[in-house]
Amino acid sequence: MGKIYDVVIIGSGPAGLTAAIYAKRAELETVVIEKEVASGGQVLNTYEVDNYPGLPGINGYDLGMKFREHADKLGAEFVTDDVVRVEKADGLFTVTCAEESYTTRTVIISTGASHRKLAVPGEEELTGMGVSYCATCDGAFFRNRVTAVTGGGDVAIEDAIFLSRMCKKVYLIHRRDELRGARTLQTQLFSLDNVEVLWDTVVEKINGADQVESITIRNVKTEASGELPVDGVFIAVGIHPQSSAFDGLVEMDHGYIKAGEDCETSVPGIFAAGDVRTKQLRQVSTAVADGANAITSVERYLTVNS
């Protein structure tokens, strides 16, 4: 049968990396499977993390790297592969990936979530050519230019604020007449002279040949439409869980894996941590808490089922 792990951790964002740290400290045989080339998850694309205790204002990439360095220092094993499915038989789980398969007593799913798309003409064609889902990654390319941000939550407001520091003009486009983001962020946003909010407005098309040149917008109340010249479009309309590989395996709610604070799913021995699980708040701090809780639950499961 080959090596049997105590726990396989799928995904290496803050939740997965914390789980790896706690697992190694508990002396569990552990492997972390990550499909991307770098660990850290969405935090890698965050310009500034100002609410992680003890490290105010740290760059998101640096924070993600600190998590990975901690896990590496403890000797956590990492592999780069894409999980295809998880199956249970005879009290053990088989985690089948594109390249290899792993046998384990428990599984932690910490695959996180990804950016939602507008699904409008021109979006796919112009992604990377003016269409972006990460202002902190690509904002520098639009210095002294005109950009638009779509969305009304914290991320959209943060993106608009970030872009205002380098762009000549920033439009924040929101389909409703009020924003959903934190009041402190809204106060900061409304104080910026080079940011204009377009209320009750949606993007219907992104225009350009080899580069974004404009967007077609429509007011949802008046039905008036027009073309807005912009050099870049930053899309911040939410995220969706990366859970498709586990369809039919565990209970879900709109794609989020059902699990409480103990991270226990509907299948004994499978745990969910971080943005992929049902929870009130999806932040780095709550992901870290999930990683710790998941390993505590894994230890309890292994003790009972040893």
Domain borders along the chain are 4-114+239-305, 117-235
Share of the chain above pLDDT 90, in %: 85
Half-sphere exposure of 209 (CA within 13 A, CB side): 0
What is the CATH code for 4-114+239-305?
3.50.50.60
201 has a pLDDT exceeding 70: yes
14 touches 282 (CB < 8 A): no
Please list, residue by residue across 213-233, b when 16 or more beta carbons sit within 10 angstroms of its beta carbon and e when fewer do.
bbbbbbeeeeeeeeebebbbb
The residues carrying an active-site annotation are 134, 137-138
- pLDDT on residue 114: 83
The pTM score is 0.76
Same CATH topology for 4-114+239-305 and 117-235? yes
Which pLDDT band holds residue 47 (cuts at 50, 70, 90)?
Answer: low
* E-only strand ranges, 220-302: 225-229, 232-235, 239-241, 252-253, 256-257, 270-272
Q: What are the tens digits of pLDDT across the range 93-152?
A: 999 999 999 999 999 999 999 888 999 999 999 988 999 888 877 888 899 999 999 999
Q: Which CATH class is domain 117-235?
A: alpha beta
Dihedral of alpha carbons 272, 275, 281, 283, sign:
positive
CB atoms within 10 A of CB 51: 11
What is the structure's pLDDT at 138?
81
